[in-house]
Structure 1
Amino acid sequence: MSIEHSISNECTVEEQDENDAERFTVVREEPELRATVDLEIQAKVDTNHPDSGTTGLTLEAEETLAAREMEIERTTRRLDDRQTSDREARSRDVASRGTSRATTPSRRDPREDLTREELAAVNRQAHRVAADVEGYTAAAIGRRLAAQVAAGRELLDAVLDVREQLFASGAPVPLGALESVPSGEVTVEGRLIDVWETDSTAIQEVGLLDDESGRTKLTVWAGSDQPWIAEGERVRLYNAKKNWYEGRCSVALTRWSRVEFPDHDRWWDA
């Protein structure tokens, strides 16, 4: 091989290396500088330390730190920090006044405004009404009567008004007191002791309802969509309509009435 040919080959190799370098990018791998866990913890400790100041913090971090310190100081600072503070005494006084208001009745008992004779008459009527109404004591009824009498109303009118209010609230009306109740619809409770046959297609069922105070006729209209009541069964009838026939009061079930069977409910609950 000649010298010229060797030099020519060497030049060709160098040129080839330069071409390869231009085509391929050389990536130099260098280690990434990253703080260790211990360094990060120490940095947080140094930043949050009360004596560290604001050195090294950004403006946003400085403002956040200042706002947090102001909030802590505001919430922990006592409003009344005098050496001779009476804050505890004032707190006890306010608490005692609130307790006395809670234990003091908000309304005056109207029976205190009646004379001795009026109070005696009110108490007698209250016991009579309480005997006819379930769920109300004579004292509660007496307060209602006394309030109306103290306002200038006659006792008899007050009794009728209170009875109507109590019976309208859903309390069962004794069958013996049906005639004295001015309401057109009542709630009654009793036992169906007798069922009568009827030829009227408008009547589903008719019979005699009984309780300890009296008896009355019960009519269940065919269009009322009410359940059948067996003879001897105890029922509670809501919104039963009062009817009068030949001077006697009876009750009837309409579409707006409701029937409950107390004995069935107790058996089911048991």
Structure 2
Amino acid sequence: MSSKNATSEVVSVDEQAFENTDEAAVDEAGFEVVEETLEFQATVQMEVQAKVDANHPDGMVDTSDERIYGATLEQEERIRAREAELERISAQAELGTQDGREKRTRDIAAKRSVERRAEFQKRAASVNPWADPEREDPRGELMQSELAAVNKQSKRLAEKLDGWSRAAISRRLSEAIVSGKDMTSAVVGLFEELETAPGQVVPIGKLEDVNRKEVSIEGRIEVLWESNSPAIAQVGLIEDESGQTKVTIWEKSNASWVEEGEQVRIHGAARNWYNGRVSVAVTGWSTIMFPERGRWWE
């Protein structure tokens, strides 16, 4: 009785395969078909050996500077790709924000500077018509003989005035001639104006005519005397061909020590008045230069 029940429950292989058809696909031989591709993974021993081989001097076939020593090709490709990506991000950030913003800022500042200059020149033209930027060059209004005389005088003045070009002087002379002045008056007036202009070394005899607080002079130290004030380092007289004046060197100026008979050039000297006479003082904003120092051949 029990044996019959056991036999009736036996199922053949073909029946089992038919019942499991929905569960897994099989091939003609009855083997299960694996749809996924098998993934081969290295064992721990293989990974250790790969690292040893990669770092061994003989394991690197290509030892050129372009290869990364100790890295496999796969690792090297990842490193190169990452470096290239970082360079691209850095370049994009630099060009897109910093340099681009700086360039736009410079362009805007330059444009506004030109606009402000033009606006200022327009206002100045109400006082001096030649300051109008839209007015033609006055040299174009001169006759050929007048232009030749202007060029000749401009060359003479440029040789006497440091820092002024012949072109700038000829334009100023042409403005004066076109305005109605004769050549002699124009030359004398322009020379006196440019001689005491800011940045020029002013003749000591012309200091009274300067309307600035700071001036630059050059001359020879005629005499020095003792000062009664501890705040004064040196005091004396300086003179050139046009005249002489008192010079005071303040202690806090930390200026170089000068000696009698020495040629000096003082930039940024403070112009003062004492007992109705003009004088100069060397302050912390002044600079003393010695044109003759170091001239060993003399």
Report which structure shows greater RCO (CA 8 Å, sep ≥6).
1
**TM-score normalised over the length of structure 1:** 0.45
